[in-house]
Amino acid sequence: MALSIPYRIMESCEQPYLLIANPSNKRTAGLQAARAKLGLAPAAVLSYEQLLSGDACIGDALRKLAGRGDIIIRLDAPGENPAVERQLIAWGAPDRNGDDMFWSGGSLPNSISIVSSEALLLPPEHGRIWHPAQWYRGYCRFLAAMQREVKASGARAYWVNSPGSIAKMFDKRTCWQLFERHGLQLPALPAAAGSIKSYEELRAAIATSGMKRLFIKLACGSGAAGVIAYQTNPRTGEELAITTIGSEQASSGFSFYNAGRLRRYSDAKDIRRIVDWVCGEGAHIERWIEKESFEGKAFDVRQLVVNGKACHTVARLSHTPITNLHLRNERSMDMKRLLPEDVRQAVQQTAEKALRAFPGSSAAGVDVLVQRGSSATYPIDINPFGDLLYGAEYEGMNTYEWQMRQLLRKE
């Protein structure tokens, strides 16, 4: 029976550790290097591609590891692999059966979905954002399958982050609702979470709420993909959208991609097109709160939390409203220069409280916004795979070394 609790403390270095990941990924390399440095046996690795295609079974892997103690299972990021992306889109297709216990979006409209056979033939176009809602549905189905198969195996196993908690973290609408339920201070919404489905509905929500500056986010996006910093001038009605989203005209309509750099749109037709696309795939929309700044750069904080305790911290600084490190923004580990002690503690406490909203998880990166002028802290995102923080150290260890070290400490 798989349990969703914080890391199980190791009795010896031989306790088996099973990693579900893309084997050639830098995350996998970082974790294995940390285990080697601490004298731990290499993690057994199951690839997403093999599991999704049916060429591997997690039950078989668990049986091979049986008899060596309780098994720790870590699900890592499925990204940066075109074959895995296609498989997940195929798993989420309307013509394919799957367990939708973690998916709350209902049926996918024909306008944003494709059948599984077409999904497997999607070309590898760099930056192209293919069917994000269907991808998320496929990942939810995969997570449900992993949970079911581990339970059926009878193995005594512990998830680092349970499949259900990972599915919830991937949906910004669900995250907002869970944060609110746990008493966290949050940016206000112009309308009920997930209720805005189009540009016209956005404009109506702005008129009703009076919010003129908003962040529009693809609900299941990451790495700034599908994020729009939107504002409208209350006097002239002019609009401005700052985003990584690019679009191209094709024979079948417009396609959308992550440009990898920010673009500014002021033409209403362009803004309508990208907002309609994001909202059609599922959007989370919240008030734009001005971030604290340092030397003319706005910043927020990626705070890693492991076993309920804040550890590694990276500030993300940018001359733009969007601070994601994927956009080659500046990073800083010198938090003492950026924030006073009481605010740094508030950031850590906010992140720790945010992770407690997901009781099936023991490690996540929490993005915390510090409001300019008030020092109020807001959790604006949580990432179950948010521990790839280059250069960040805590007690002399990088993020993977720190997490593996927790396995060696007594309870």
Domain locations in the chain as residue ranges: 2-169, 199-287, 291-383
What is the full DSSP assignment across 31-50? HHHHHHHTTPPPPEEEEHHH
Per-residue pLDDT band for 9 (boundaries 50, 70, 90) equals very low
Which residue has tokens 């746990």?
A: 182
Residues with Cβ within 8 Å of 392's Cβ and at least 6 positions away in sequence, in order, are 304, 312, 313, 314, 333, 398, 399
User: What is the rounded distance in angstroms from the CA atom of residue 298 to the CA atom of residue 322?
Assistant: 9
Q: What would the 3-class secondary structure string for 46-112 be? A: EEHHHHHHCCCCHHHHHHHHCCCCCEEEEECCCCCCHHHHHHHHHHCCCCCCCCCCCCCCCCCCHHH
pLDDT of residue 10: 37
pLDDT of residue 344: 97
User: What is the rounded distance in angstroms from the CA atom of residue 164 to the CA atom of residue 147?
Assistant: 8
Which of residues 122 and 12 earns the better pLDDT score?
A: 122
Of 78-82, 247-251, 392-396, give the lowest mean pLDDT range: 247-251
370, amino acid identity = V
Q: Is the pLDDT of residue 7 over 70?
A: no
Q: Is the pLDDT of residue 252 over 50?
A: yes
pLDDT of residue 14: 60
How many CB atoms sit inside 10 A of residue 93's CB?
23
Which residue has tokens 């709160």?
A: 289
Give percent of the chain with pLDDT exceeding 70.
Answer: 96
Burial tier of 407 (Cβ tally within 10 Å: 0-12, 13-18, 19+): middle
Burial tier of 295 (Cβ tally within 10 Å: 0-12, 13-18, 19+): exposed
CATH class for the region spanning 291-383: alpha beta
Check: CB of residue 382 under 8 Å from CB of residue 367. yes
pLDDT of residue 352: 98
User: What is the rounded distance in angstroms from the CA atom of residue 327 to the CA atom of residue 318?
Assistant: 9
**Chain segment 292-343, per-residue pLDDT in tens:** 999 999 999 999 999 999 999 999 999 999 888 777 789 899 999 999 999 9
Q: Is the pLDDT of residue 411 over 60?
A: no
**Chain segment 17-67, per-residue pLDDT in tens:** 999 999 999 999 999 999 999 999 999 999 999 999 999 999 999 999 988
The whole-chain average pLDDT of the chain stands at: 92
User: What is the rounded distance in angstroms from the CA atom of residue 353 to the CA atom of residue 181?
Assistant: 11
Global confidence as pTM: 0.94
